[in-house]
Structure 1
């Protein structure tokens, strides 16, 4: 890893850190092969306490630097082999700082097919082209000079053909002039418009009306590039991909030619040559520069929109993974169903599967209630988790109204976001865990476990299936996968895992481990029993000292040989604590349980100097709260009982809800009906809001008012504003018209249509 001082300064400037910090991070990550979670938590003294976001940015910037360096070397080598590398060109290529600058310089040498301009150069017409560009002679004189360049062997037989060849040379010269193009590029990004139109055959496309906002749309590119508008470009791009929309970056031709003219038309230009040069410049712009910049703009807008979308997806995913958890308690998971029945699964406090059954809707609901109540008593269940999909609210209502233990308050029932549960149930991971169980039962197990510990269960599902993204299938999939992988790793290592209960999928995200080693850990645990101490990991085949260094601090062992193994304290610092305890003639266990001793340890300047300020402080915090989970504990959201369908909602009334997705244009909120409502960015607060994520996060409980309902399209508009616009009913007669029938009140579904009794049921 070698970086010039200029490169270091550049990366430092991009990431707003010092060059020394950049060097430290790169050395740790690339030379010492440390992971981002390990560097963030255990090398704070080395990095100056940089957080994982900045560390990731430094590594990303270095990757871009490497790509640019590699491309520069390729371009230099290619042009050198063509024997066209001049000292000035070499200097410019070496001075280029971005890929775009390099591509501008490389453009004239890129074409594999011989162009008209190149053919004209081979025909010896370059001097004639320079004569035209100099424009010191009148056009008539240049026409006379053209007779000297006739070369029949190159198909230049007339002065007109010679002049045409010279024009071709100049058109390509102007089109590939890096400095001129860069100047025009600046104008494009600050002044050009991005214009869309409806294609003539758009009506043949199904659902083309969803793009109607962009049938005649225009916005400055500089504005469309902003984060708050990125979703617009994503929508436009999708409309283009299905042949509904056409789009182009537009810039006034006259102004563009005037900008280019500054480079190619001198003040002494002869008046008779000026129209010729104007026409050449216009053609260079129309044929080459305009299409090139249009493509460049679309590419850059996509790149920027992708970055914003991926960032939002990552933040949503992080909040979802770190949402409040129930903890180690026995749970009954329910996957609701009417025709196919309700799938019930019971898991113990570690998430181990215990029991499953199916309740069908065509049998006695009273008997079903007795069965659920009996299961709660048998397995000491105090929590029932119900999937929030189809029939989720009806199932919750049935359980709340029919189960004695729930009515008595000894058992608590709640809806759980089941997004992705069906994906898990059909996955290879689920089949490996429960090869003899039906996919629907696996889904119920997943719902129960997700309630216990969302993080531990959600890591088994492809993040793209969890439903918190925006245009996730349209963005760069390689970058999306990398970003989401980093988010999951960050969350898992932030929380840490119990080495003796964690699943292989969860362990695989621990720093330094990976899927293969995770399976080896689980296999060792199954064969040898629970781990007694972290050092025991080194007995596993291929579990090297390096892996131990990167992973050990994030793997917890409760009630083991060493109390420190239940904390985030890294084994590499154990000797310092053990030496201090020995000096005080106490044990580590005594230290951890005595506030006075902890205070003495915290005040010991000798220890602080040995460990470093950041590490010393982290150790003190870990001793004070050795088993503290950074996540908050679960708190149930009570939806309104009179609203389980969109028809039950009333305009102008307030409803409790949970944010289940955030985009650039607003947030989607679950208010207890099947359809999530849209809380547009303009309705999030009484103040002006630019970024919804500044005000909300996925999983947050909110109070919202129903602003508008489109019954036909099943769309709900919400607001948090106290003073909101006039309510609006769509695709239904407005109140007071004499034709309007209020939505029916939510009636309790007949019990014989909701659940039924089980026959021949016996508790195992």
Structure 2
């Protein structure tokens, strides 16, 4: 298999493009670095495509290694033929390789292996040949009855021969593939209750059947969990008769053979005893793998959206972690997230000290010039929110509040990392601080939390944890590098996700900073312990230094491109210091002034027809449309740099260090509060998407529990997945279509026309 050729075809890319990308990966370059700084080689492939290509490359390489291993193992048994080797080498999936290897794979003692040891293989060959058309199968078997070999009768000999044939059928790669395909397209997943009287969340599956090829991923994961918790019994159901007919059509070649009936029974035995259980395991594994892969994809996408929520700059925060008996923990933070004060208030049961709480909030708000209150969305959130909203109303202070998802805050506050960061603070204070900082800079704070604890997925604790952690690590890495980090303020947790940097090097960077003061130049990174030239090359472009020696250090321009960037600025008459003053907004004009003449010449000539002298004059005065692409190409040629790299440099010079999170929906602030009792069917509201799953999206509309917009209520048009319509953090308009006061559940619709 030519892996480069296969990848090029699958991804719709040029072979040279794939080859250069694979070379970059093999050289140890990180995906963020390749995506950002090697666009000329990759043709501008995104980090998402590069991740997929890398994953597929690994699979294909593992496939090729397995092929050669299987060929070697069969060859060691002196059973390898040229035809078999050819079949193995042309296999496109690992399953096909394993099917071809199955007949030669060493097995534990089986009925068939015991029959072979008794010398019944020749009898099995006689039955398989199906030549005799007269007489009885017992006549052929009587010569194989040998008490010394453990075969007491002709009947026992026939049974042993049939066991050999049954195993032969189940080992046949073509028949195995046929049964697998038939099972996948016609099989049914059937579930039933272990105890039909018990009330559980799995009641909809107490008597449920669904086609294997139709069952959605979230139901697969729900069924798996129900089975694991011993609430459900699950089995794969197929039409055994049709399966046996499928197999018989390939095996019974002589309808007049005296062995026809015996072979028919053997086919039935082979299917029911050997092939059906194997096919069931494969189907369950296939469905689980498919569901897990989709769940990881959904979780990763949700996590990306959550991490890329824009930071709220200038927020001076009172952060409240709600609770009942032990009260609500309060942390006060300045604009940079520094802890100014902390205390505990008791606005909820059992104390319900509302006046005392209001007095504390007023004192803190006035003393520290607070403009924002953050409330965690966990236990007692609703009651705390009511008190805060009423306090804001009565105080007359210019303060707004918002609800923050507190998933993972307790995990972080009790972690080793939190203890190292704030050894003198109680875990509850750390938790309250974390909530406030999630608003100020979600990315910087959320990277401290185990990603699966962020709470924006579905069944994340039930799926393959290695697969989940790998995917989420990639998401965090891509987000951190897309945004970039401030080298002089970033925590070790944030630095550790920069391309090429691990936690050890991240701690060394912070240690160097504490010992030597702030970094003034990216080159200083080379002085950090264990940070060599290769690591510097990977990480430098993602590190930002404000007010450093070189203004380019505050941008995403890589040091390897400084020479070209500085040459461009010089040619255009731009002082590099402008980068520290907001950038050069008029850069396109300057480029056009210097390189536009060439582009103009390539513009089609404007010609006025039949309009007279006035029209000719108007045509001459009309400015030609700018061909900036040609102008940039001309400049790139002169600077001896690639067009994609120059384009990136231009964008950075226009707006140095631009934060891509600016494009995301802003945080919704409120100064009112809603009660569940206030909700009415057909009420139209605005809310924030908190989570997106396979079957819909959960939206925060200002009450304790999020409402659910089912996928069928997202659009009047067919949509394949909720993520095609909404993302975590989106602000959406919804209409209430169902209210369940007993279960505190709210059904929402985004179809505002009620149709």
Q: TM-score with structure 2 length normalisation?
A: 0.88
Cα deviation digits, residues 154-198 of structure 1 (max 9, x gap): 223432222222211111111111111112222222222222223
| Equivalent position of 2:606 in the other structure | none
CA drift of 1:301 comes to 0.3
Cα deviation digits, residues 518-561 of structure 1 (max 9, x gap): 11111111121111111111111111111111111111111111
Cα deviation digits, residues 475-511 of structure 1 (max 9, x gap): 1110000001101111111111111111110111111
- The structure-2 alpha-carbon separation of the partners of 1:126 and 1:302, relative to structure 1 and needing over 3 Å to count, comes to same
CA drift of 1:456 comes to 0.8
State the SS of the aligned residue for 1:332. Answer: strand
Structure 1 residue 138 corresponds to structure 2 residue 124: no
Task: Describe how 1:236-385 pairs up with structure 2 within 5 A.
Answer: 236-266=223-253, 268-270=254-256, 272-361=258-347, 368-385=357-374
| Equivalent position of 1:686 in the other structure | 716
| Equivalent position of 1:23 in the other structure | 19
| Equivalent position of 1:515 in the other structure | 503
Cα deviation digits, residues 31-56 of structure 1 (max 9, x gap): x2110100011101101111111111
Q: TM-score with structure 1 length normalisation?
A: 0.87
Most deviating of 479-488 and 539-548: 539-548
2:155, 2:391 → 1: CA distance?
95
Whether the aligned pair in 2 keeps the contact of 1:654 and 1:705 (CA below 8 Å) is yes
CA drift of 1:455 comes to 0.8
CA drift of 1:65 comes to 1.9
Whether the aligned pair in 2 keeps the contact of 1:202 and 1:243 (CA below 8 Å) is no
Cα deviation digits, residues 305-350 of structure 1 (max 9, x gap): 0011000000110111111220254333222345433322222332
1:300, 1:620 → 2: CA distance?
48
Whether the aligned pair in 2 keeps the contact of 1:425 and 1:443 (CA below 8 Å) is yes
Of 638, 659, 664, the residue aligned with 1:629 is: 659
- The structure-2 alpha-carbon separation of the partners of 1:598 and 1:375, relative to structure 1 and needing over 3 Å to count, comes to farther
Task: Describe how 1:655-670 pairs up with structure 2 within 5 A.
Answer: 655-670=685-700
1:652, 1:580 → 2: CA distance?
59
Whether the aligned pair in 2 keeps the contact of 1:401 and 1:407 (CA below 8 Å) is no
| Equivalent position of 1:119 in the other structure | 114
CA drift of 1:404 comes to 8.0
2:147, 2:353 → 1: CA distance?
99
| Equivalent position of 2:185 in the other structure | 190
Of 372, 377, 402, the residue aligned with 1:414 is: 402
Moved over 6 A (4+): none
Of 610, 627, 649, the residue aligned with 2:679 is: 649
Cα deviation digits, residues 238-292 of structure 1 (max 9, x gap): 12212222222222122111211232111x4325432222111111111111111
Q: Which of the pair has the greater relative contact order for Cα pairs under 8 Å at 6+ separation? A: 1
Structure 1 residue 223 corresponds to structure 2 residue 211: no
- The structure-2 alpha-carbon separation of the partners of 1:343 and 1:634, relative to structure 1 and needing over 3 Å to count, comes to farther
| Equivalent position of 1:72 in the other structure | 67
- The structure-2 alpha-carbon separation of the partners of 1:628 and 1:407, relative to structure 1 and needing over 3 Å to count, comes to farther
| Equivalent position of 1:13 in the other structure | 9
1:717, 1:236 → 2: CA distance?
23
- The structure-2 alpha-carbon separation of the partners of 1:691 and 1:404, relative to structure 1 and needing over 3 Å to count, comes to closer
CA drift of 1:634 comes to 7.1
CA drift of 1:638 comes to 5.5
State the SS of the aligned residue for 1:460. Answer: coil
| Equivalent position of 2:379 in the other structure | 390
- The structure-2 alpha-carbon separation of the partners of 1:46 and 1:434, relative to structure 1 and needing over 3 Å to count, comes to same
| Equivalent position of 1:729 in the other structure | none
| Equivalent position of 1:745 in the other structure | none
- The structure-2 alpha-carbon separation of the partners of 1:146 and 1:634, relative to structure 1 and needing over 3 Å to count, comes to closer
2:16, 2:450 → 1: CA distance?
38
- The structure-2 alpha-carbon separation of the partners of 1:269 and 1:562, relative to structure 1 and needing over 3 Å to count, comes to same
Whether the aligned pair in 1 keeps the contact of 2:196 and 2:206 (CA below 8 Å) is no
Cα deviation digits, residues 416-447 of structure 1 (max 9, x gap): 22222222211111111111111111112111
Whether the aligned pair in 2 keeps the contact of 1:136 and 1:269 (CA below 8 Å) is no
Of 566, 581, 585, the residue aligned with 1:578 is: 566
1:486, 1:81 → 2: CA distance?
41
State the SS of the aligned residue for 2:660. Answer: coil
Of 482, 506, 520, the residue aligned with 1:494 is: 482
Whether the aligned pair in 1 keeps the contact of 2:175 and 2:247 (CA below 8 Å) is yes
- The structure-2 alpha-carbon separation of the partners of 1:364 and 1:674, relative to structure 1 and needing over 3 Å to count, comes to closer
Most deviating of 628-637 and 188-197: 628-637
| Equivalent position of 2:624 in the other structure | none
1:532, 1:191 → 2: CA distance?
67
| Equivalent position of 2:600 in the other structure | none
CA drift of 1:679 comes to 1.4
- The structure-2 alpha-carbon separation of the partners of 1:231 and 1:367, relative to structure 1 and needing over 3 Å to count, comes to closer
- The structure-2 alpha-carbon separation of the partners of 1:119 and 1:640, relative to structure 1 and needing over 3 Å to count, comes to same
- The structure-2 alpha-carbon separation of the partners of 1:508 and 1:328, relative to structure 1 and needing over 3 Å to count, comes to farther
Whether the aligned pair in 2 keeps the contact of 1:322 and 1:631 (CA below 8 Å) is yes
- The structure-2 alpha-carbon separation of the partners of 1:120 and 1:335, relative to structure 1 and needing over 3 Å to count, comes to closer
| Equivalent position of 1:471 in the other structure | 459
Unaligned runs of 5+ in 1: 726-764
Structure 1 residue 673 corresponds to structure 2 residue 703: yes
Instruction: Figure out how many residues of one structure are paired with residues of the other and give that number.
Output: 709
2:322, 2:435 → 1: CA distance?
11
Cα deviation digits, residues 591-637 of structure 1 (max 9, x gap): 85463445548735454132212111111010000032111377453
Whether the aligned pair in 1 keeps the contact of 2:483 and 2:659 (CA below 8 Å) is yes
State the SS of the aligned residue for 2:735. Answer: strand
Whether the aligned pair in 2 keeps the contact of 1:197 and 1:216 (CA below 8 Å) is yes
2:71, 2:275 → 1: CA distance?
24
Structure 1 residue 149 corresponds to structure 2 residue 137: no
| Equivalent position of 1:608 in the other structure | 636
